[in-house]
Amino acid sequence: MRTLGVVLFPEFELLDVFGPLEVFGNRVVQHHYRVCTVAETAGPVASAQGPRAIADHAFASCPPLDVLLVPGGMGTRREVDHAVVTRWIAARAADAELVLSVCTGAALLARAGLLDGRRATTNKLSFDWVVSQGPLVEWVHKARWVEDGKFVTSSGVSAGIDMSLAVIAKTVDAATASELARIMEYTRHTDPADDPFARR
């Protein structure tokens, strides 16, 4: 059983969080994953789209995490300069088995110094801005998701679902990942280099 923690911050992107949680929180993997949410302060956190999500834990009281997921969203433009957030991410990433990001969440990993010298990707519409947050990162423009060691970064928004299914295939098995996609009625990308949005 792995514990997956999702970082919440004001103006996080809804699908960046709840797309992956649809995967990791599904009953099919309930014996493999438990999920929780964490923010600087426990309680409601407003998304970029308006609806709020509840942070189960504050940074100070968050339990040990095996997998850390950092979403993107407009709030990342502010949070990259929030030392409390980037320091906490860096500290928890050090102990995690896997560290995942969706969309511009990669900017937070980059500013935390976690991606230096590694391959990573991010949202194509915000690619230049994210690249500016991590000049020592080997940014991959054409990628649905990129895996480098324990770090797995995905492109924009819905790509987080493909990344999450790929992580399930690796940590549980391929059949379970396929079953999850079927239950979700989701047409999945199984090739991490299959990125139709890189051409636009």
Q: Which residues are catalytic?
A: 103
- The CB-side HSE value for 154 (13 A sphere, CA atoms) comes to 28
Phi, psi of 152 (to 5 degrees): -130, 115
Distance CA 111, CA 189 (A): 28
The SS3 call for residue 186 is coil
Give the strand pairing for 52-55 and 57-58. Answer: unpaired
Longest alpha-carbon distance in the chain: 43
The answer to whether 163 touches 177, Cβ cutoff 8 Å, is: no
Cα 156 from Cα 158, distance rounded (Å): 6
Q: Which of 53, 51, 118, 115 is nearest to 89 (CA)?
A: 115
Return d(Cα 73, Cα 47) in angstroms, integer.
Answer: 8
C-alpha 173: how far from chain center: 20
